[in-house]
Structure 1
Amino acid sequence: MKLLSIFQSVLAALFGVQSHGKYEFDFNSGSFLPYAVVGIALVTGFVVALVVLVNYILN
């Protein structure tokens, strides 16, 4: 359940729709590392998906 909460928080933050209460909860949760790892994974996956989509469309 904790991983799902981290994933939801990072995804909401990436879209800019995270509530202030959830932001404060995440900020006070202790460790920054899980949020950074999930954030890097999501951004990397997004970039890879865009590259694949553009290459598919151009071919």
Structure 2
Amino acid sequence: MKKWLRALMSVAAAAFGVQSNKNREHDFANLPAGVVIAAGLIFTVLFVLTLAAIVSWVMP
């Protein structure tokens, strides 16, 4: 579970452009690629759904 949380935090930081190179290198060295890919897909889906919900709420 800790790997999933670390991967989601890493993906979120990278998506918003606030992840340091040191953390990126640490995550790629210590997290399995499958976990990072899955976290990226989950983050992307949640991000798109959140944007769609905000747009549908703002636009009648």
TM-score by length of 1: 0.81
Residues of 2 paired with 1:10 and 1:41: CA distance? 10
Regions of 4+ moved over 3 Å: none
Partner residue, 2:25: 24
Computed over aligned residues only, the root mean square deviation of the Cα atoms, in angstroms, reads: 1.4
Q: Which runs of 5+ in 2 are unaligned?
A: none
Larger radius of gyration: 1
Paired-residue identity, %: 32
TM-score normalised to structure 2 length: 0.80
Q: How many residues were matched structurally?
A: 59
Segments of 5+ residues of structure 1 without an aligned counterpart are none
